[in-house]
Amino acid sequence: MTRRAWALLLVLCGTIFLEGIDVAMLSVAVPSIRSDLELPTGTAAWVMSAYVLGYAGFTLLGGRAADLLGRRRMFLTWLTVFLGFSMLGGFATEGWMLVVARFVTGVAAAFMTPAAMSIITTSYEEGPQRNKALLVFAGTAAGGFSLGLVIGGLLTQFGWRWVFFAPVLLGGAVLLAALRLLPAEARPARRGGSFDFAGAATAAGAMLLLAYGIVRLEHGFDGWQLTGAVVAAGLLLATAFVTVERRSPAPLVRLGILRKASMVRADLGALLFVGSFFGFQFMVTLYLQELRGWSSLETALALVIMGVDAVLAPTLPPRLVNRFGNARVIFGGFLLAIVSYALFLPVGLDWSYALMLPTLFLTGAAFALAYGPLTIAATDGIEEREQGVAGGLLATATQFGSAVGISAVTAVYGLVVAGGDGSPGATLDAFRAALAVPAVMVVVGAVITAFGLRGGRRRAVDAPGATAPAAARPGSVPVA
């Protein structure tokens, strides 16, 4: 790739890195925020959940908006909103201010991330070049989250408000570089002469309600009637969305795109893999802090080894994908995750860090093998005019995955703790039961992704003449 192509990729990776450290730093800072602002437990939980709701609720709309209104325009606009509300969060003096700021920040990420991904998939030639760009992008996202744990622990020592201000400083630099480097584009023409407002409304409503229902699973059987009602309402709106899209002359999401088996399989795989990853990391954090008494900084430093994916993602998977095909590498990542989580299931009250290290390292390596190739599979072969939708579907899957993973392990942990006697041994049993959830998720994911192996090895991505050059494809931007 040319220097300009690498520079553009660096800017886009800066955005996904920004998103990763933003979430990770806040997860470390929540206890300090709760103490300083004297927040009740429910409000403190919503400081984290509001972001997930905003993100999961609008990613589908965000992806389509990038296709219809312009990827560059959406990227720059919502990056600005992201930075503005991150700064406002730093000035919050009440819990509701933080919740509102985090919700809008999540909405901004829902528009910004699919736009960034679709800029990559339309600016780099399909094949080895695009694959490497996507693998670097995915690795940067995971690395941002892993490093964000450490950075958040350090910044919290100086005051939790720096957790909100620091992303603004980084994001400001990314925004200035993006204004210079993002390729210009003509405003896409709207087919059908109108925007699918009914589809947008029903999609956003369904995603918000379903995400809220998933988050409420953390409360176990408390308020299960409300949880059931919310999920039912979400499913009804989802049904309405499908009906609207079938009749719309210019649908928000062309339902035919869901017939692409490899994309659907990749989205389901990403949901399960990301869910297992975040659920596992959440429970390990609780184990180290609540059962072992480690500080937030000590915990963050212990988990930083999981950031090995940021090093491996741009180097190892491209070679493996070119040699063995995308499906086999994804399947290998799931198998490695199964081994990783299985090694941690017998965790004890006095395990040394050396005993934990193999699992933490293998978990990061598994993420490097699976997540980047899943990103490629979710966008491979999709028409350029629907790349934003494909990116939105993938982002929706990953956000729902993280919500499902964390909510499921929390629900299982709470149920087992409630049935125990409160002793350290009973608490450890609850941790072990909750840690079985990520293991089950990756086993199911491995079964789903195994169906991708039936077609044999994916065509060599560097085969001569397999793909037309970027400059020859209508509407593409030849940056590389």
- In order of 235, 241, 298, the CA distances from 228 in angstroms are 11, 20, 39
46: amino acid identity, one letter: W
Cβ atoms 107, 54 nearer than 8 A: yes
Report the alpha-carbon angle 42-410-302, nearest 5: 100
Round to whole Å and give the CA distance between 214 and 230. Answer: 9
The pLDDT score that the predictor gives to residue 221 is: 59
The pLDDT score that the predictor gives to residue 186 is: 62
Q: What string of pLDDT tens digits covers the 480 residues of the chain? A: 788 888 999 999 888 888 888 888 887 788 788 888 888 766 777 887 788 888 888 888 888 888 888 889 999 999 999 999 999 999 999 989 999 999 999 999 989 988 998 898 888 887 778 888 888 887 787 778 777 878 887 888 788 899 999 889 889 999 999 998 888 776 655 544 456 778 878 888 888 888 888 877 766 556 778 888 888 998 998 899 889 888 888 787 788 888 888 899 999 999 999 999 988 988 888 888 878 888 877 887 888 888 787 788 778 888 888 888 888 999 999 999 999 999 999 999 889 999 999 999 999 899 889 988 998 888 888 887 778 788 888 888 888 888 888 888 888 888 888 777 778 888 899 999 999 999 999 999 999 999 888 754 444 344 333 333 333 333 334 444
Round to whole Å and give the CA distance between 312 and 369. Answer: 8
Q: Give, rounded to a whole angstrom, the gap between the first and last alpha carbons of the chain.
A: 5
> DSSP 3-state helix, strand, coil percentages of the chain (rounded to 5)?
80, 0, 20
Cβ atoms 207, 57 nearer than 8 A: yes
473: amino acid identity, one letter: R
Residue-by-residue DSSP string for 129-149? HHHHHHHHHHHHHHHHHHHHH
Cβ atoms 441, 268 nearer than 8 A: no
The pLDDT score that the predictor gives to residue 188 is: 58
Q: How many CB atoms lie within 10 A of CB 128?
A: 17
Q: Which 8-state DSSP code applies to residue 290?
A: I
Cβ atoms 110, 58 nearer than 8 A: yes
Q: How many CB atoms lie within 10 A of CB 445?
A: 29
Q: How many CB atoms lie within 10 A of CB 419?
A: 10
Cβ atoms 239, 203 nearer than 8 A: no
Residue-by-residue DSSP string for 38-80? T--HHHHHHHHHHHHHHHHHHHHHHHHHHHHH-HHHHHHHHHH
The pLDDT score that the predictor gives to residue 479 is: 47
Cβ atoms 87, 34 nearer than 8 A: no
Question: Spelled out in words, what is the top-level CATH class assigned to the domain 3-183+250-458?
Answer: mainly alpha
Round to whole Å and give the CA distance between 48 and 103. Answer: 9
Q: Which runs of consecutive H residues, i.e. helices, occur in 380-476?
A: 387-418, 424-450
The pLDDT score that the predictor gives to residue 291 is: 85
321: amino acid identity, one letter: V
Round to whole Å and give the CA distance between 352 and 341. Answer: 17
Round to whole Å and give the CA distance between 40 and 154. Answer: 25
281: amino acid identity, one letter: Q
Round to whole Å and give the CA distance between 89 and 427. Answer: 35
